[in-house]
Amino acid sequence: MAVDGEVLRGSRRAGGKAVWLLAAMDHAGTGTVPGQRRIDDKSNETPAFIPLLRDIDLANTVITADAAHTPHANGTWLREQHAHYITVVKANHPICWPG
């Protein structure tokens, strides 16, 4: 399952803010979207990650996500759900292994 956020094209509202959604999409080729959440105007994708996935059975599911979703709390939570994950780790994440 891929987790990613996108701004909806053409959704700009009064005040200049566009609608921003975080969604989970099935990698199996069906294009199924088992979860989607609107991101608060004064926030970002990161705090919406766990609430997005909370009601989905993730056991033995591989979750892919970008660098916004690399906090340790997300990885810990995914392991508690018996899920596997692949995320991009960039300079926004401290080195946590020797070498």
In tens, the pLDDT along 38-73 reads 998 888 999 999 999 999 999 999 999 998 888 889
Q: Could you tell me which residue, 64 or 89, shows the higher pLDDT? A: 64
8 Å CB contact between 67 and 57? no
Contact between residue 45 and residue 68 where contact means Cβ atoms under 8 Å apart: yes
pLDDT value for 25: 94
In a domain, 95, yes or no: no
User: How many independent structural domains does the chain possess?
Assistant: 1
Helix (H), strand (E) counts: the chain: 2, 5
Residues 13-28 have a mean pLDDT of 86
Does the residue 36 lie in any domain?
Answer: yes
* Structural domain range at position 25: 2-87
Q: Is residue 52 part of a domain?
A: yes
Give me the pLDDT at residue 96, please.
Answer: 56
Order the strands of the 62-65 sheet from edge to edge.
35-38, 20-25, 2-7, 62-65, 84-87
- 96 found inside a domain: no
Is the pLDDT higher at 94 or at 80?
80
